[in-house]
Amino acid sequence: MDPSGAFVISGKDGKSGLKQRVADLLPDGGNLNLCLTCGSCSSGCPASGIGDMDPRKFLRMALLGMEEAIAASPWVWFCSMCMRCVHACPMKINIPQLVFYARQQVPRENRPKGILASCDMALKHDTCSAMGASEEDFRFVVEDVLAEVRQTQPAFEDLQAPIDKQAAHFFVNQNSREPVTEPDEMVPLWKILHRAGADWTYGAKGWAGENYCLFIADEKNWERIVRIKAKAADDLGCKVWLNTE
């Protein structure tokens, strides 16, 4: 980090480390010199124009070694990593991965507070809930809402919302905000699965669908959360992990 507080992405030899990352991301036979700044990457990007930045400009700045200018822009945190730019790019440059690297250069405590807090909250319980909901909280809410639907909606008196059902086909994740603040929003998903005759279950562990540690570029904890969810699905003997997020 330089005296102004901006992060500088550079290699030990003083050259642009971010520029080298760009070269490393090219597929076999790719050549950065063939990039004509065609703008295909920016054309479908939902973050284009935010903060006077877009994927094309971000990439060109990285190629020119303009790490401090990149550091001064909040745009890397607006990128949703949706991958549209990669699919549009004739060179198939993985710009979202490059954005991820740029995020990692920011000291963890200086990354956006909302995303950071959600990542840290998800690490408190094996539910992986960004709202901090425990296994007991989740089970109580699901059972309470399910009982109400069965009692008040005759067409769904046999509706199911299983938790920790062994050998179900689908291991289903849920947005962690819904059980905490909008529990009725879980019901439409249950009804769809019910009408489809799906064999599914939640897991008391790993039921939360999102992974904010990915977006905060905390690679270690991103992996930790994924492993908790994968293990929960494996322990129940589920065949398909269905993430509604």
Predicted confidence at residue 170, as pLDDT, reads: 98
Q: How many domains does the chain have?
A: 2
Q: What type of residue sits at position 14?
A: G
Contacts 24+ apart (CB under 8 A), 114-120: 115/77, 115/212, 115/215, 115/216, 116/212, 116/216, 118/210, 118/212, 119/212, 119/213, 119/215, 119/216, 119/218, 119/221
Higher pLDDT, 241 or 62: 241
Q: Which two tokens stand for residue 49?
A: 């124009």
91 and 212 belong to one structural domain: no
Cα gap 76→58, rounded to integer Å: 9
* Residue 48 counted as domain residue: yes
Out of 106, 136, 158, a domain closes at: 106
Query: Does residue 72 sit within a domain?
Result: yes
Q: Verify that 41 and 162 share a domain, yes or no.
A: no
CB 172 within 8 A of CB 201: yes
pLDDT tens digits, 18-57: 667 666 666 655 555 566 788 999 998 999 999 899 999 9
* Domain-ending residue, one of 106, 131, 157: 106
Residues 26 and 63 reside in one and the same domain: yes
pLDDT at 5: 36
**Is 192 within the bounds of a domain?**
yes
Whole domain around residue 164: which residue ranges? 114-243
Among 54, 88, 106, which residue terminates a domain? 106
Examine the domain organization and report whether 94 and 125 are in the same domain.
no
Q: Residue 112 pLDDT > 80, yes or no? A: yes
Same domain, 120 and 49: no
Q: Are residues 125 and 65 in the same domain?
A: no
Residue tagged 């710009």 (tokens): 95
Is the domain of 59 the same as that of 179?
Answer: no
Which residues fall within 8 angstroms of residue 135, CB to CB, at 6 or more apart? 125, 126, 127, 204, 205
Say whether both 153 and 98 belong to one domain.
Answer: no
